[in-house]
């Protein structure tokens, strides 16, 4: 059960963080066409899709799926890069 909760927690934290980021960027006067906003929205969509996939995986236990590790690594890189920039 801990593994399952952990798998849900990571994308949920990412979604909350990027939603706050978009809110901050828009308050600073950016528009939805801004590259940073589009990038953050893309990550939000992918992470919420990931949560849905996790839920469906639980529903269909044992079903195999193919993952594009390059896309997963790219997304993780962007998330980690954003977090490191906030820490500076």
| Residue 55 three-state SS | helix
On the CB side of 20, CA atoms within 13 Å amount to 9
Query: pLDDT 10s digit of each residue in the chain, 88 long?
Result: 667 777 778 888 888 888 888 888 888 887 777 888 888 888 888 888 888 887 777 766 656 667 788 988 888 888 888 878 877 6
- What pTM, to 2 d.p., does this model score? 0.55
């Amino acid at each position: 059960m801990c593994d399952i909760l952990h798998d849900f927690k990571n994308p949920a934290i990412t979604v909350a963080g990027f939603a706050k980021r978009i809110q901050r960027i828009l308050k600073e006067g950016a528009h939805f066409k801004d590259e940073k906003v589009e990038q953050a929205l893309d990550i939000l969509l992918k992470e919420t899709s990931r949560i849905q996939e996790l839920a469906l995986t639980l529903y269909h236990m044992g079903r195999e799926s193919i993952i594009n590790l390059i896309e997963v690594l790219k997304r993780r890189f962007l998330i980690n890069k954003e977090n490191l920039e906030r820490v500076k």
